[in-house]
Amino acid sequence: MEHLTFTTAAILSILTLLMPITTIHTLTVYDQSSEPHHIILSLKEISTEDNNNDNVEYRLNTSTNSLEMLVDHNNTFNLILDPQISSNDTKQLLTRFTCESEETDSFDWNSTENNCEILQLPKYEYIFNATEDSIKVISLKTLKQGKTQLVAHAKWISNTSEVTIDTWKAYVTVNVGVSDTILVISAIIGWIYFVAWSISFYPQIWDNFKRKSVVGLNFDFIGLNITGFISYTMFNFSLYAITSVQKEYENDHPRSQIPVQLNDVFFGFHAAFATLICIIQCFLYDRGEQTVSWFARIFLSIVWTGYIVIAIIVASTNWLTMLDYLYILSYVKLVITIIKYIPQAWYNYCRKSTIGWSIGNIFLDFTGGSLSMCQMFLLAYNYDDWATIFNNFTKFGLGFISILFDVLFLLQHYVFYRHSDVNDSRSLLV
């Protein structure tokens, strides 16, 4: 019974990892709104699943959806109408560019404002017709630091039948920085903290192996950690690899890129695997009188039961989507990140010792967390985008809390309990 939580979590994790594959269902396509003589589909009125919809006769796209530029530099991209208006057709399509944020979903044709503060175009309106090329080369020049989205809107300006046009991908996210050197440094920092976080699990595993003991390693911390990393892995893998989940995300965030990269997926799987090794060590090595606390057992049981119940709801009803389910996993991961170190810190305090708790793990975690926050400040400076930090306080706050716990563990190890003497000949101080 002492390690029932670990066993239950391991079984449920396998079941839950399979659920994103077996419970995906097709998105409901939004209804298309129409007006007399023309139909313009807004960003939220057509999903990527509409690509095979016969009602969509034209598509307006940009050759890229993202540009990284420096201040006072020029660049170009293509605005593409597909298919080209036929030679015997009198239709004319007016397109107009405006600068918007990702959250903006309204546009007024009567307005003359383009809202472009960090960049400028030679002109903001372009016309497609039978005598014009279906590809327009759009030039832009950056004026100052910042981030914006250059969005193309379209409408027919001649009498036509009701012809639809999809402007779903007619946008470019433009990031304007002051230094490409900062971007290089930021990329290097990113790889360093990725490596630091990736190998931070192994000092504890090595410590346990050398001592043939897990005495000093709090089991609540391990139980919370495996749950958090499985949740993190499921979220990242689903967004990265499952097409229907990506389409749901694009419907909710029509002008955003999928926020998950391959290294995020790799880190999640690797972290869950390394934590699982620690759990196996808890079964194999001397653990003294340590058990999982009743609080952790209840908390983890609620979490895993909730995961399965919600997965069943997603699979059998329309109340929640798969993306909603993944968001729930991410919220649980955030909560676990906040609380997971508390049991270990309290355990060290009660024992007046850090023997059995690898300080190497803390050094690497502190390195990764510090560099991650450093990267955030570098990018905020480069793009003059401080709102990203202070408006998204969750990410910043979580990183700061983790660093505070790392500092606490360093103080416990080197200041508060540095003279601790535990009678364990197999103890290894890192």
User: Model confidence over 82-104: pLDDT tens digits?
Assistant: 998 888 888 889 999 999 887 66
Residue 36: per-residue pLDDT: 31
CB of 194 closer than 8 Å to CB of 267: yes
Please check whether residues 173 and 188 belong to one and the same domain.
Answer: no
Higher-confidence position of 7 and 363? 363
User: Is residue 34, in this structure, part of any structural domain at all?
Assistant: no
User: Is residue 427, in this structure, part of any structural domain at all?
Assistant: no
Instruction: Reply yes or no on whether the pLDDT at 307 is more than 70.
Output: yes
Instruction: Reply yes or no on whether the pLDDT at 51 is more than 70.
Output: no
HEC profile for 49-79?
HHHHCCCEEEEEEECCCEEEEECCCEEEEEE
CB of 62 closer than 8 Å to CB of 152: yes
Please check whether residues 203 and 151 belong to one and the same domain.
Answer: no
SS3 of residue 253 by DSSP: coil
Please check whether residues 257 and 113 belong to one and the same domain.
Answer: no
Interval 61-84: pLDDT, tens? 999 999 999 999 999 999 999 998
Please check whether residues 284 and 139 belong to one and the same domain.
Answer: no
Token match 């597909």: residue? 82
Please check whether residues 53 and 18 belong to one and the same domain.
Answer: no
Question: Where is the domain boundary, 177, 201, 221?
Answer: 177
In this structure, the chain runs to a length of: 430
CB of 321 closer than 8 Å to CB of 314: yes
d(CA 238, CA 330): 12
Please check whether residues 173 and 160 belong to one and the same domain.
Answer: yes
Question: Where is the domain boundary, 155, 177, 199?
Answer: 177
Q: Give the residue ranges of DSSP H helices in 285-316.
A: 294-316
For 269, phi then psi, to 5°, come to -65, -45
Residue 389: per-residue pLDDT: 79
Q: In which band, very low, low, confident or very high, does the pLDDT at 367 lie, cut at 50, 70 and 90? A: very high
Report how far apart the first and last C-alpha atoms of the chain are (Å, whole number): 32
User: Is residue 67, in this structure, part of any structural domain at all?
Assistant: yes
Please check whether residues 47 and 132 belong to one and the same domain.
Answer: yes
For 55, phi then psi, to 5°, come to -70, -20
Type of residue found at 30? Y
Question: Where is the domain boundary, 162, 177, 192?
Answer: 177
SS3 of residue 176 by DSSP: strand
Residue 418: per-residue pLDDT: 85
SS3 of residue 151 by DSSP: strand
Please check whether residues 52 and 102 belong to one and the same domain.
Answer: yes
Please check whether residues 219 and 317 belong to one and the same domain.
Answer: yes
Nearest alpha-carbon partner for 386 in 147, 213, 48, 155? 147
The CATH number covering residue 54 comes to 2.60.40.2030
CA atoms within 13 A on the CB side of 289: 2
Cis peptide before 83 (omega within 30 of 0): yes
User: Is residue 422, in this structure, part of any structural domain at all?
Assistant: no
Q: Which domain holds residue 79?
A: 42-177
- Count of CB atoms situated within 10 Å of the CB of 40: 18
Number of domains in the chain: 2
Q: What is the pTM of this model?
A: 0.78
User: Is residue 109, in this structure, part of any structural domain at all?
Assistant: yes
User: Is residue 159, in this structure, part of any structural domain at all?
Assistant: yes
User: Is residue 426, in this structure, part of any structural domain at all?
Assistant: no
Q: What angle do CA 126, 129, 133 make, to 5 degrees?
A: 75
96-110, 139-153, 319-333, 345-359: range with lowest mean pLDDT: 96-110
Please check whether residues 141 and 290 belong to one and the same domain.
Answer: no
Mean pLDDT over residues 318-334, rounded?
Answer: 94
Please check whether residues 242 and 357 belong to one and the same domain.
Answer: yes
Residue 346: per-residue pLDDT: 96
d(CA 98, CA 150): 6
* Mean pLDDT of the residues in the chain: 84
Residue 390: per-residue pLDDT: 74
Instruction: Reply yes or no on whether the pLDDT at 25 is more than 50.
Output: no
Please check whether residues 193 and 324 belong to one and the same domain.
Answer: yes
Interval 261-286: pLDDT, tens? 899 999 999 999 999 999 999 999 99
User: Is residue 421, in this structure, part of any structural domain at all?
Assistant: no
